[in-house]
A and B are shown apart, each in its own frame.
Chain A
Amino acid sequence: MKPVEIIHLYKTYNKRTGRLWGGAEIKTVLQDINLQLGEREILGLVGESGCGKTTLAKVLLGLEKYQNGSVKINGLEIKELTKVGFKKLRRQVQVVFQDPYSSLDPRQTVRQILCEPWDIHGLHTDTTERERALRELLQAVGLDAAHLNRYPHEFSGGQRQRIAIARALALEPKLLVADEPVSALDVSVQAQILNLLKDISRRRALSMLFISHDFAVARFLCDRIAVMYNGRILEIAPAEELLHNPQHPYTEALLSAVPVPDPLLQKKREPVELKNEYQRAAASCPYAVRCLYYQAAKCKSTCELRQTVQNHFCACAVLPFKNKKSSYAI
């Protein structure tokens, strides 16, 4: 039984046209998502903004409804859960958000923030027992008991993110959804938080869905990385494999934009040229409009993940390329 199993997930939004009695426009934001997350596995989800990463996270958290397909967490289908079952699910899946300045209620002290999950679920009701649990929680994220009666605005970004992580751990979840948890932090603080997340996931045997737009960060933390574009997953592979041997043209384009720390090498790297061919929009591959390797006959019909190398899945129909340019592996 896998912690997360997503099969043929579709999600659409109804966008109202603005008139009082006007109809709705349907916008598909997640299209045919298939994902599995093993125990203790950290899966990175990489893609540009607006590609559906956060929506996928919200579906996993049960905060967004989905129309078609199946999302199972520890074997339980989210859609079919009763109210009680749903509340139990909350204890298994928790979330850390990107911006620690907006994810903590400015009018609550750290103690109130950390006790809220226990209040909701009726845990640690005994006072001394609760104090002990609080101390343990703070210790796990590297905070001090003296911080308990302070308000979020008294902390730095890194400390706030530690508080947010502590809150997520309070219910001892099995799965942690981390939605760009370090993007809003300084680089030096990023490293601390990443180390903390890595450490915690090992110690607590957590599975994690780690959303990011930064390959270097994903590489450090993740076992596997999935690349998302326009609501679809285009490539998924073990982290090192993906970065050394990117197969999808989109992954390659993304990697070409990552700066390398060697100025000589960096000079030689030219970003992949992106097309803008709107007549290709009807193709089933979402990347067709911008793709360098577009072949009408192949791209129009199918866009399904298939195994190209061991454990390496790619959704490009044109593969393998004949005249491939230099590699952008990092």
Chain B
Amino acid sequence: MNNRIFKRILRNKASLAGFILVSFFALVALFAPLLAPAHHEHNPYQLPQSSYEVTPQPPSPQHIFGTTEQQYDLYYGVVWGTRLAFKIGITVTFFAFIIGLFLGSAAAYFGGLVDEVIMRFTDVVFAVPSLVLAMVIAAMLGPDIKNMMIALTAVAWPSYARLVRGDVLSVKNRDFVVASRALGARGPRLLLKHILPNSIYPSVVVASLDIGYIVLTAASLSFLGLGAQPGTADWGQLIAMARNWVLGSGADTWAYWHTVIIPGGAIFLFVLGWNLLGDGFRDILDPRQG
């Protein structure tokens, strides 16, 4: 079945493009130490800085993507930023998924008051715009990549809780679960052996496709100074450093184009790749489209 889905992804042009983009970024992330050897051994995400001069330098043989404000190397930033993007996207999605899975299945399985309390709480989280809530949490915890991931997880889990709850509710009263209860199976066995294996599949797919959106939000937080610190190989941070150079220098509007376009393009292509891939998945898995 998974093989069949994979084949259909490759047959659709848009989702094929998405697949290629995501695979490309995955390879870059994987081989980051080879593509751009680490400058600071203990923290490879720290950007190399060739001098303290403020004005960005255009692409040159030494810095093929040029340098941004304060001479941070953009090529190094984009390569290691890819790795950081995957790290943030996967970690946040993973924890959000686990929390959502736990709360959603508990709400659906126990029902009644438990359901009411958990789902009303998720409603409260949903009621605040997610970026605003993430900003508030990140600001309270202090600007740091780890804190930013906590903030992102805190706003991402409710959608999984809802999704899992719905799927568990629909499986909970299927005959094979009732039959298992009639055999004498109780809570944990029912949930782990019968209900969850038959209900988490859609959520897993959604989770895998959420990574692009999480990375975009992470970039927003970094841009606002609530995530990665200056000098970190983070796409949002690189764009934040380009803020003063967007308009170019007096007569030449395009003088510092690379400071914006290169990290911005990386985010753009990364999120585009995940979205195209996601559309492909949805087309295949949505029963209404047959």
Which residues of A pack against B, CB within 8 Å?
61-63, 87, 90-91, 93-95, 97-99, 102-108, 116-117, 120-121, 164, 167, 171
Contacts and interface: CB of A to CB of B under 8 A. Distances in A.
A105 B176 contact: yes
B189 A104 contact: no
Secondary structure type dominating chain A contacts = loop
Interface stretch (B23-31, B75-83, B148-156, B179-187): B179-187
Contacts of B184: 87, 90-91, 117, 120-121
B288 interface: no
B63 interface: no
Contacts, number: 53
Interface in B175-216: 175-176, 178-185, 189, 193-194, 197-198
A103 B175 contact: yes
Nearest to B116: A20
Given A102-B175, A105-B176, A120-B189, A167 B183 contact: yes
B174 interface: yes
A169 B180 CA distance: 13
Nearest to A171: B183
| Nearest 8 interchain pairs by C-beta | A103-B175, A90-B184, A102-B175, A105-B176, A97-B175, A117-B183, A107-B197, A120-B184
Interface residues of B, number: 16
A91 B183 CA distance: 7
A102 B183 contact: no
Contacts of B193: 105, 108, 116
Given A63-B178, A120-B189, A105 B194 contact: yes
B168 to A, nearest CB: 14
A93 B181 CA distance: 12
A135 to B, nearest CB: 20
Given A105-B194, A107-B197, A107-B198, A116 B185 contact: yes
Contact of A95 (B174, B179, B189, B194): B179
Interface in B135-189: 174-176, 178-185, 189
B179 A103 contact: yes
A103 B176 contact: yes
Quick one: which of A61, A98, A103, A106 has the most chain B CB within 10 A?
Answer: A103
Contacts of A87: 184
Interface of B: 174-176, 178-185, 189, 193-194, 197-198
Contacts of A98: 175
A85 to B, nearest CB: 12
Nearest to B120: A20
Contacts of B198: 105-107
Given A106-B198, A107-B197, A95 B182 contact: yes
B198 to A, nearest CB: 6
A102 B176 contact: yes
Contacts of B185: 116, 120
Which of A87, A97, A105, A120 has the most C-beta atoms of chain B within 10 angstroms of its own C-beta? A105
A68 to B, nearest CB: 23
Given A94-B183, A103-B176, A167-B183, 13 more contacts: A62-B182, A95-B179, A103-B175, A105-B193, A106-B176, A107-B198, A116-B183, A116-B185, A116-B193, A120-B185, A121-B184, A164-B179, A171-B183
Contact of B174 (A102, A120, A171): A102
B183 A90 contact: yes
27 contacts: A62-B182, A63-B181, A63-B182, A87-B184, A90-B183, A93-B182, A94-B182, A95-B182, A97-B175, A97-B178, A97-B179, A102-B175, A103-B176, A103-B179, A104-B176, A105-B176, A105-B194, A105-B198, A107-B198, A116-B183, A116-B193, A120-B189, A121-B184, A164-B179, A167-B179, A167-B183, A171-B183
A171 B179 CA distance: 13
A287 B194 CA distance: 41
B125 to A, nearest CB: 19
B239 to A, nearest CB: 45
B244 to A, nearest CB: 53
Among B184, B193, B198: residue with most chain A CB under 10 A? B184
B203 to A, nearest CB: 15
